Copies of this chain bind each other. A is one copy, B any other.
Amino acid sequence: MPEKFEIKSGLRNYEVCWVKDCVAAIGDQRSSRSFLVIDEDLPTSGKISKLFSKDRVIRLKADEKTKTFDSCSELIRQLVDRNVRRNEIIFAVGGGVIEDVVAFVSTVLFRGVEWVFIPTTLLAQADSCIGSKSSINFGVYKNLLGSFYPPSKVLIAPNFLNTLPADELRSGMGEILHFYLVAGEVKMASQLKKQHRELLKDPSGFKPYILASLKIKKSVIQRDEFDKGERNLFNYGHTFGHAIESVTNYRINHGQAVTMGMDIANFISWRRGHIKEEVFNYLHGLIAFNLPEFRLDPKNWAKYLQALSKDKKNVGKSLGCILTRRPGKMFKAQLPLDQRLGKDILSYFD
């Protein structure tokens, strides 16, 4: 995978570029008709903001409250107050929240304005920066709204990773592992396992892992951008992971919840005869280094099942999830939300 590659999209092809110095790269790309929307807590936020005129910089708090329909409305109001025009470009610098909000607003403003994404977290660099998806909360409903609308360019700068807390890096590693298992890239997973302590100390080594992740995602989204078939397999680990995030009130980061979600999906795959115990154990050994510190209290299993029952991918009373026959061979399953599933989950945590 070269330093620069193109993603083919039904909406608009776009480029992903690896850049050494993000300040220089943004400086090259921005013009007097650009806006900047930036995570206000980013250590380099001041330096980047200086590249834009003052009234063209909008700082946002990167939390769940910012990821709402109302806050998108507020961002539109700010842009319009500053006289935004349809031929202008919005630069989004931040992680998933900034990406979601700017992507969503860019989708609907003037029926679509250009935006450039500069992902600053490992999760955003190795996963969400490609694939066109945005997710927005509506009232109490998480991720109820969203759009498919790619940026016109993605600039990935490794230096952002140096200031990330370990928790954020672990979260990114969870999502990276998930791509490797879906694609059957167990070598990469095993290498990441070996190197992870080092990487937590010096994140500059993440580059090949990020590129391998993006390569896997690229090939799938180019075939199924709108998530009608094959792309569904990337939900592997996510259904069971989301429910962990939900029952812990998002105390556990997304990627580590997904790591445990994969472990649960593998466990259920074993219990239902899709893989042998050895395979479950082998996969468990491969990803265990990134599991979160969490054990479901047996008293709470009903709460966990309830969280599962609210998954958007459910059809009627059965859980839509991804199970495995081996690394690289995932499949969609509909599991009745019944006692048997409750028992399987209880014995996973036993």
Residues of chain A having any CB pair with chain B under 8 Å: 10-12, 69, 73, 76-77, 80, 86-87, 104, 107-112, 133-136, 138-139, 141, 144-148, 226-227, 312, 315
Q: 8 pairs across A/B with beta carbons < 8 Å?
A: A10-B11, A69-B76, A107-B108, A107-B147, A108-B146, A110-B144, A110-B145, A111-B135
Question: Which of B77, B111, B138 has a CB less than 8 Å from the CB of A146?
Answer: B111
Which residue of B has the minimal Cβ distance to A70?
B73
* A146 CA to B111 CA, complexed, in Å: 4
> Which residue of B has the minimal Cβ distance to A146?
B111
Across-interface contacts of A315 in B (CB, < 8 A): 87
Is B80 in contact with A141, judged by CB distance below 8 angstroms? yes
Query: A109 CB to closest chain B CB, in angstroms?
Result: 6
A138 touches B87 (CB 8 A): no
Q: Which residues of B contact A12 (CB under 8 A)?
A: 226
Question: Of B11, B108, B112, which contacts A108 at CB under 8 A?
Answer: B108
**Is the CB–CB distance between A144 and B109 below 8 Å?**
yes
User: Contacts A76-B145, A139-B77: A312 and B110 contacting too (C-beta < 8 A)?
Assistant: yes
- Min Cβ gap A310→B in Å is 11
Is there an interface contact between B147 and A108, defined as CB atoms closer than 8 Å?
Answer: yes
Apart from A86-B312, A108-B146, A112-B147, list 9 A-B contacts with CB within 8 A: A76-B145, A80-B144, A108-B147, A109-B145, A110-B146, A111-B145, A111-B148, A112-B148, A112-B226
- Report the separation of the CA atoms of residues A10 and B133 in the bound assembly, to the nearest whole angstrom: 16
A28 to chain B, nearest CB (A): 24
